[in-house]
Structure 1
Amino acid sequence: MRLLVVEDDAGLATGIGFYMEREGYEVIHAGTLRDAAKKLEEECPDVVLLDLNLPDGDGLDFCRNVRKTSQVPVIMLTARDMETDEVQGLLCGADDYLTKPFSLAVLKARLDTVMRRSRAGNCMDPEEEAQETADRENQPELVGGGIRLLTGKMKVYCDGKEVDCSVTEYRLLQYLMENCGQVMLKEQILAHVWDNSGSFVDENTLQVAIRRLRRKLNDDGAQPGHIRTVRGMGYIFTG
């Protein structure tokens, strides 16, 4: 796996690089956003660790720009530890958010989790892609409340218009639609969509993902939408 570390602290970047290379990652370093943009295009990393405070700009803006053209997983690393900062980071398209100081072992676990989630979206060689397509052709589609999810093609339509969903958003919607009419506990959703090993990401990540998904499905906050919150329990897809 190729890891792009966008961090202007040379000591921290070196420490992360040494540890992650020992864990089997190929590590690429960028100390500025300009360098990061260049290496993102040239090196095609599998995952990005992104500091927010860089000499030539804000990592939030960089993440927004990345999301316009790419779904490469992004984990934000930052000293900003306010809940509003984390929410802002996730809304910008980050897959996870880790505050400094942090354990390298925890970072490795977060990276592994994000990579498991994005594996379905990774590029395949032509033979693998053809086989994947053949395997999915006969899989059913899920339909409810004007939403149509094609399980064989990882596509989502709302009222006939295609919705641009990330891999995580797709998996979240699919899980809720497969259990239409049932209240899915937060713990169940976290285990299924994020981490089957039991090392859950922060619950706030789920709330932000639900918010982003609702927005893409045109759920009006003033009216009951496709995905409803069951206070103190979890969420239900009502169709």
Structure 2
Amino acid sequence: MKRIFFVEDDLSLINGLSFAMKKQGYEVDVSRTSLEAEQLWMDGKYDLVILDVSLPDGSGYDLCRKIRQTSKVPIIFLTAADEETDIIMGLDIGGDDYITKPFKLAVFLSRVHALLRRSENFYLSDAELNSNGITVQRLKHEVYKGSRQIDLTANEYKLLCLFMENPNIVLSAEQILSKLWDCEENYIDNSTLTVYIRRLRTKIEDDPSNPQKIVTIRRMGYKWNVTE
């Protein structure tokens, strides 16, 4: 049984979504404050975290940052904050999906199923990826450039793995977004992907202004260009 950690202060939403998720066969633990969530997170092992951004005693963003210090668990932000800057920040600090209120229950459950399924398949892949002087050790969630370990956000890590799993294959922006985020809404777009690729290049390329590993194929997409 998959365990879901649900952090939300709206009691009516807690009751409705907890009931719906339990009917789908999930085990659900709920926290209504940041303090309670931090204490519960220390005691439990979860397959998915759902975070509200605005909590009575803090921010879901801060809680996400703390979780990301020790875990790669999938995280969904569930919030009324629908500004583009809020969404980009949520994804950049380690969120895997961002659902804005109001939303349809069927869409919410579909996104939960998809993220859990994608996470499960992701960790069944090869234990190690190695090309272009970059090594990904999946079991440890570590990335190395030569002998130097590189610190990546959760989305940068998944993006790098996707490229390395498809050497010398041109991937369109739509293919990449579909693989990473099951892109059903417009808030994850090409400009957001461009930000992630630019930041990833600064960490893995010898000369980010002249990338040789992640190359842009004009009007087609991007390619992991294997040169070794």
State the TM bucket, normalised to the shorter chain.
Answer: 0.7 to 0.9
Which residue in the other structure is 2:91 paired with?
Answer: 90
Cα distance change of structure 1 residues 74 and 179 upon mapping to structure 2, 3 Å threshold: closer
1:117 equivalent in alignment to 2:118: yes
Task: State how far apart, in whole Å, the 2-side matches of 1:152 and 1:59 are.
Answer: 27
For these two proteins, the number of residue pairs brought into alignment is 223
Indicate the residue corresponding to 2:176 in structure 1. Answer: 189
- Find the aligned partners of 1:82 and 1:163 in 2 and give their Cα distance: 30
Q: Is the 8 A contact 1:191 1:200 kept in 2?
A: no
Is structure 2 residue 161 aligned with structure 1 residue 174? yes
| CA 1:82–1:231: 2 relative to 1, 3 Å | farther
Aligned to 1:67: 68
Alignment partner of 1:143 out of 110, 131, 154? 131
Kept after mapping to 1: 8 A contact 2:202/2:208 = no
Cα distance between partner residues in 2 of 1:151 and 1:8: 35
Distance 1:34 1:151 in 2: 31
Q: Distance in 2 between matches of 1:44 and 1:178?
A: 28
2:27 is aligned with 1:39: no
- Whether contact under 8 Å (2:4, 2:28) holds in the other structure is yes
Aligned to 1:223: 210
- Aligned counterparts of 1:219 and 1:96: Cα–Cα separation in 2: 31
The match for 1:77 is 78
Moved more, 98-107 or 216-225: 216-225
Amino acid at match of 1:157: Y
Structure 1 residues 128-178: Cα deviation after superposition (integer angstroms, max 9, x where no partner): xxxx8xx968x8x5311x323457876532132233557764453233234
Tell me the equivalent position of 1:214.
Answer: 201
Unpaired runs of 5+ residues, structure 1, are: 123-131
Shift of 1:27: 1.2
1:24 and 2:12 equivalent? no
- Asked if the contact 1:230–1:236 (Cα under 8 Å) also holds between the matched residues in 2, the reply is yes
3-state DSSP of counterpart to 1:181: coil
> Contact 1:91–1:212 (CA<8 Å) still a contact in 2?
no
Deviation at 1:231, TM superposition (A): 5.0
Question: Any idea what SS the aligned residue of 1:69 has?
Answer: coil
What is the distance in 1 between the residues matched to 2:140 and 2:32?
38
State the SS of the aligned residue for 1:66. Answer: helix
Q: Secondary structure at the match of 1:173?
A: helix
Change (3 A) 1:170 1:200: farther
For the 8 Å contact 2:94–2:153, the answer to whether it is kept is no
Q: 1:3: Cα distance to partner?
A: 1.1
Change (3 A) 1:57 1:211: farther
Equivalent residue number for residue 55 of structure 2: 54
- Tell me by how many angstroms 1:223 deviates: 3.4
> Could you say if the C-alpha distance between residues 193 and 94 of structure 1 is closer, same or farther in structure 2, counting changes exceeding 3 Å?
closer
C-alpha distance in 1 between matches for 2:109 and 2:44: 21
Displacement of 1:200: 8.0
TM-score using structure 2 length: 0.81
Shift in Å, 1:185: 1.1
TM-score normalised to the size of structure 1? Answer: 0.78
Cα distance in structure 2, aligned partners of 1:55 and 1:152? 36
C-alpha distance in 2, partners of 1:152/1:176?
18
